Amino acid sequence: MSETLESIALAMVATGKGILAADESSGTIKKRFDAINVESTEDNRRDYREMMFRTTDAMTNHISGVILFDETIRQKGADGTPLVDVIKAAGALPGIKVDGGAKELAGAPGEMITEGLDGLRDRFAQYYKIGARFAKWRAVINIGENIPSTYCISTNVHALARYAKLAQEAGIVPIVEPEVIMDGSHSIERCEEVTETTLIALFDALREQEVNLEGCILKPNMVISGSTASNRAGVQEVAERTLKVFKRTVPAAIPGIVFLSGGQSDLEATAHLGAMNKMGPLPWKLSFSYGRALQAAPQKAWAGKADNVPAAQAAFGHRAKMNSLASKGEYSTDLEK
Ligand code: 13P
């Protein structure tokens, strides 16, 4: 079959599969490595990520694609095989983070705007040649006193749509990621309101800029209590409120919604996904694109030591499998044992 945006998008959310977000920027991966006392060198970053990409069962059966950082998409494994080829050999798609990170939004204290549109057409052409078939751009929406502003939401969704259109022109499926940040003491009601407003604005911008929805994947936050809220909502409430907002705002033409974990524990992220998929039938596939929730366990098990690779791969494989079951509505916490 010839490859189209639609066929790539469908492959990204194939039944029982989700995405591994391994696209931490240099600064973020250093933070993760600091936590396990590993120096963030180019070789250590390579070894760590290659270890996951060579976890055969997980990569073949539970992971549809991997989001890479610019360094990784150009890197070769220890035996000289390009990491892109290691990922493809397992049957997964290479993807690329193309945004330039979130910077302070001018004149809007506490708010952020994602940079990276300049030169993006040429970068997409290059990434396509290297093998990327999907991409990611993350917008950051903070909740606080009197924020987010309409200004912050509208500038961020405008940039997301411009990125998405350029990706599609290059034959690359855009993951559009408007992340309403969990940090803060806000209630789940406040998160619901901000998420709904953001998604309405996002799909307006995508329509205005004629983005093909069938060739686009949404990567949102869940509707969840702030991380330091006094009464945090339970699993069922998170699942119900999240689905309520999506049904109101996300067109059925979108083939799939893949969540970010956003600071939830790995077990929470799996439980929430599982609960939502038990509430089907739904108009879109609902799966995962987790960074921390897939990698926290393998990072801890690995701790930078070659001897720990089998244990780290087992930890990664387990989380991938649990999330795969959750994406099919077949997860229960008993399966964690
Ligand atoms: P987390 O799952 O750790 O939030 O990372 C996903 C991601 O890609 C954020 O941009």
User: For residue 319, what are its two tokens?
Assistant: 């989380």
pLDDT digits (tens, 9 = 90+) for 283-298: 999 999 999 999 999 9
Active-site residue 50, yes or no?
Answer: no
Which atom, in ligand 1's list, is nearest to the CA of 177?
Answer: 10
Residue 21 pLDDT class (50, 70, 90 cuts):
very high
Q: Who lines ligand 1 at CB under 6 A?
A: 21, 138, 177, 260-262, 290-293
pTM above 0.95, yes or no: yes
Known catalytic membership, residue 219: yes
Contacts of 6 (CB under 8 A, 6+ apart): 214, 215, 255
Q: What is the distance, to the nearest Å, from the Cα of residue 264 to the centroid of all Cα atoms in its chain? A: 13
List CB contacts of 207: < 8 A, sequence separation 6 or more.
none
pLDDT digits (tens, 9 = 90+) for 73-90: 999 999 999 999 999 999
Interacting residues of 126 by C-beta distance below 8 A, sequence separation 6+ = none
How would you classify the pairing of strands 256-259 and 102-104? unpaired
Segment 200-223 mean pLDDT? 98
Provide the pLDDT for residue 1: 56
Query: Could you say which of 50, 111, 177, 192 is catalytic?
Result: 177
Residue 4, both tokens = 């189209």
Percent of the chain with pLDDT strictly greater than 70:
100
Q: What is the pLDDT of residue 2?
A: 83
Question: Is the backbone peptide bond immediately before 82 cis, with ω within 30 degrees of 0?
Answer: no
Predicted confidence (pLDDT) at residue 20 exceeds the cutoff of 80: yes
C-alpha–C-alpha distance, residues 1 and 9, integer Å:
14
From the centroid of its chain, how far is CA 182? 15
In this predicted structure, the answer to whether residue 109 has a pLDDT above a threshold of 60 is yes
Domains annotated on the chain, with CATH: 5-336 (3.20.20.70)
